[in-house]
Amino acid sequence: MLYQSAESLAGRNEKIYLPPLTFQEVIQDQIWYSPDFSRKAIKMNFSKQIGEILMQSIVFGNYPEAVTTERKREYLVNLISDYIFKDVLQFGLIKMTGPIKKVLALLAYQIGSEISVNGLAGSLGMARQTIERYLDLLEKTFIIFSFFREMKFHQENFFLGTTNSISH
Q: Is residue 89 part of a domain?
A: yes
Same domain (yes/no): 61, 85 = no
Q: Is residue 4 part of a domain?
A: no
Please give, one letter per residue, the 3-state secondary structure of 68-118.
Answer: HCCCHHHHHHHHHHHHHHHHHHHCCCCCCHHHHHHHHHHHHCCCCCEEEHH
Region 123-141: mean pLDDT is 87
Mean pLDDT of the chain: 76
Q: Is residue 167 part of a domain?
A: no
How much of the chain exceeds pLDDT 70, in percent? 70
Same domain (yes/no): 30, 56 = yes
Same domain (yes/no): 124, 153 = yes
How big is the CA angle at 60 (ends 109 and 98), to the nearest 5 degrees? 55
Where is the domain boundary, 68, 96, 127? 68
Counting the structural domains of the chain, the total is: 2
Nearest in space to 143 (alpha carbons), one of 113, 100, 96, 91: 100
- Of 8 and 6, more confident: 8
Same domain (yes/no): 83, 158 = yes
Same domain (yes/no): 89, 64 = no
- Of 162 and 100, more confident: 100
Same domain (yes/no): 122, 143 = yes
CATH of the domain at 107: 1.10.10.10
* pLDDT at 10 > cutoff 80: no
Q: Is residue 12 part of a domain?
A: no
Region 9-35: mean pLDDT is 82
Range of the domain at 29: 23-68
